[in-house]
Amino acid sequence: MSTQVAVVIGGASGLGTAIARALHAEGHTVTVADANLAGAEAVAAACGGTPVAADVTDEAAIESLFTEVLARSGSVDIVVNTAGTSGFSAIADHDVAEWRSVVDVNLVGAMIVIKHAARVMGRGGSILSLTSLNARQPGAGLSAYCAAKAGLSMLTAVAALELGPRGIRVNAIAPGLVITPLTEGIQMVPGVQEDYVENTPLGRAGTPEEIADAAVYLSSERAAWITGEVLDINGGAHLMRYPNIGKHLDAMMNGATP
């Protein structure tokens, strides 16, 4: 196993933290970047990595992140972008600025990361993004998130086409429900997690480590012939239906059973 230079963006929390730890455990040098610098510092300290403050919506910050890693480490071999955010509102009531900000982080941010990663990567290497079950399964109230993640799946395919001739592989992981700070809101609404689990053939939510295992594999030479792939990791939830979160929210507000 050769030591490679890895950059995990969104590494301060949840899936990004699990992936940063797993890449470190594989012997790679890890830079932990996040809009939340204090969080990135804590994770980097735990895995002997370097913390960097970087917001994926800020092109200059992402360009300087990659330039700095290249200058410090001599190459950029593995890029994992887990930065993501969500919101909840019906389209008819949706504030457009909020809608735009979800698309900005999840889709435009991913494009900015791929663009500047591609510029500093030589020949070979891996770029991995985190899309979602919601890229293929619609959730009422999640229009911005679903649209952004569906766009990210196609962005992954286009980037794989463009970067293939340089040997750079571009893939994505599409998780189902994994308990992290991002999904804390969902867990506070009675019935949603149960509904999700009932609609999951394997009958449970996932763990950050299960996503990290796949991220390590897809980023490694063992996946040398895999590109343009969006890997569903969701206990089979894509075979069934997405919970109606709005119904559970209404029931919570009105004290009724959905």
Instruction: Provide, rounded to whole angstroms, the least separation between the CB of residue 109 and ligand NAD.
Output: 6
- CB 169, CB 211: distance < 8 Å: no
Residue with Cβ nearer ligand NAD (57 or 89): 57
The minimum distance between CB 255 and ligand NAD, in angstroms, equals 27
Residue pair 222/194 in contact (Cβ under 8 Å)? The answer is no
Residue ranges in contact with ligand NAD by CB under 6 A? 9-10, 12-16, 34-36, 39, 55-57, 82-85, 105, 109, 130, 132-133, 175, 177-178, 180-183
Listed residue (135, 20, 26, 165) closest to 79, CA to CA: 20
The residue among 108 and 157 lying less far from ligand NAD, judged by its C-beta, is 108
**Separation of alpha carbons 124 and 221, rounded Å:** 10
Give the max Cα distance, the chain.
60
Measured from the CB atom, the residue of 125 and 206 that comes closer to ligand NAD is: 206
Q: Which of 145, 196, 217, 242 is the catalytic position?
A: 145
- For the CB of residue 79, give the shortest distance to ligand NAD in the complex, in Å: 13
Nearer to ligand NAD, 109 or 243 (CB): 109
Query: What are the phi and psi torsion angles at 85 (to 5°)?
Result: -155, 160
Question: How far apart, in whole angstroms, are the C-alpha atoms of residue 237 and residue 197?
Answer: 8
CB of 119 to ligand NAD, least distance (A): 19
Q: Is-catalytic flag, 196?
A: no
Burial class (CB in 10 A: 0-12, 13-18, 19+), 254: exposed
Spatial separation of the C-alpha atoms in residues 229 and 144, rounded to whole Å: 22
Whose Cβ is closer to ligand NAD: residue 12's or residue 22's? 12
- Which residues belong to the active site? 145
